[in-house]
Structure 1
């Protein structure tokens, strides 16, 4: 029996919708989450054309503004330990990486090599408040949602992994379900994953009443009020 109340197919299904639509659905199935659980600052997508990503979070922290102060072999062990951690997953993953520097993004962890490595490790992409680079050489299909774009990796090094992190206001723990696209990212509670599609369908049916009226030559404020009432009655 799976340790999760959803399957890889359930997560894949959620990639059919953008992240704002997922947030709309969460307002219905987890209304207490309406004010938190998502990124709250503008982010930079490596690509605006890639589809949404959705997977289990692999969390970590980095710094780049100054050397780690550790021996080279300790830094390498931290990096390879991180790779092993990301690879140890039964379902597709998304990396959520918090840059701890006072000015996040001094050095980029993500570029040509690390996107290729992490794609091979089974990750779909990353959400980070840090920086990214090598925009024309990123592994095909690997999405990066970042704080800034920067040309150097400076002294970037892994600090810790597997703990709770916060990226642009979104708190995220190991194995949380994360959905992300060019708009930002949101954490989906495990027990809400399978409720999302039905909630999206309900929301779409309610919105259609309003959108159809707005496209009609018969639009008026009075009819808009009627349409809003009809939409509220759809269940």
Structure 2
């Protein structure tokens, strides 16, 4: 469940992180947390129905779902669990991003947990979007501005229900714990370690400065291989 010992980061820092796309954040993390070069981000393709939306930055709310099998709980107990789930999603540091692992294995995405209703409810609860390897539906009726990265799009919810929440999940190759700081956009998502988050914006700017001389010559009508070599050298000298 939520680790209350972790203080929330400043709103200004979250805003600064949101100015960059997720690939740039990954580039910056290679500088400030090089040990995470192979971990902490999505490595499998996800569907993004709303690629025009800006990057989202928020604290993870982790959930596991399944849809092939019915819940073993009585209706009254299932209703209580649903309320407990919404209480979990709607409390704690904000803003929040829901990260949902479909545990149906080869049948992941058989039924959609997400659609018009859930996107609207989660938006009202203070969430910015969802990252899931399950399926979503109701794309035209989706809550406006609520981002989605999903394993697939499908028509039915089958027997979909939340199995558990607040634990560790793994979605599209990315391992996430409750309250982890997540950055996501049309490209995918990445976990930003809290201890290096404040260093990421400066590192992102450094990445941009290093790319500038290379891009300038690559896009120039006067491009030559020698000029590219010079640009690469200049880029390497930027610190």
In the superposition, the TM-score normalised over structure 1's length comes to: 0.96
Match of 1:48 in 2: 51
- The one of 89, 113, 120 aligned to 1:116: 120
Match of 1:131 in 2: 135
Q: Count matched residues.
A: 234
Distance 1:13 1:139 in 2: 25
- The one of 19, 24, 27 aligned to 2:27: 24
Q: Write the deviation string for residues 73-107 of structure 1: whole angstroms up to 9, x where unpaired.
A: 12111111110001112320000000000211011
Match of 2:83 in 1: 80
- The one of 215, 219, 222 aligned to 1:215: 219
- The one of 160, 166, 169 aligned to 2:173: 169
In the superposition, the TM-score normalised over structure 2's length comes to: 0.95
Match of 1:206 in 2: 210
Distance 1:228 1:5 in 2: 39
Question: Could you tell me how far 1:156 is from its partner in structure 2?
Answer: 0.5
CA contact (8 A) 1:78 1:159 kept: no
CA contact (8 A) 2:59 2:93 kept: no
- The one of 147, 157, 160 aligned to 1:156: 160
Distance 1:172 1:141 in 2: 23
Work out whether 1:11 is the aligned partner of 2:9: no
CA 1:121/1:33 → structure 2, altered by over 3 Å: closer, same or farther?
same
Q: Write the deviation string for residues 82-138 of structure 1: whole angstroms up to 9, x where unpaired.
A: 100011123200000000002110111110010111011100001000000000011
Superposition misfits of 4+ residues, deviation over 3 angstroms: none
- The one of 196, 211, 222 aligned to 2:200: 196
Question: Could you tell me how far 1:9 is from its partner in structure 2?
Answer: 2.5
Match of 2:147 in 1: 143
Distance 1:226 1:78 in 2: 62
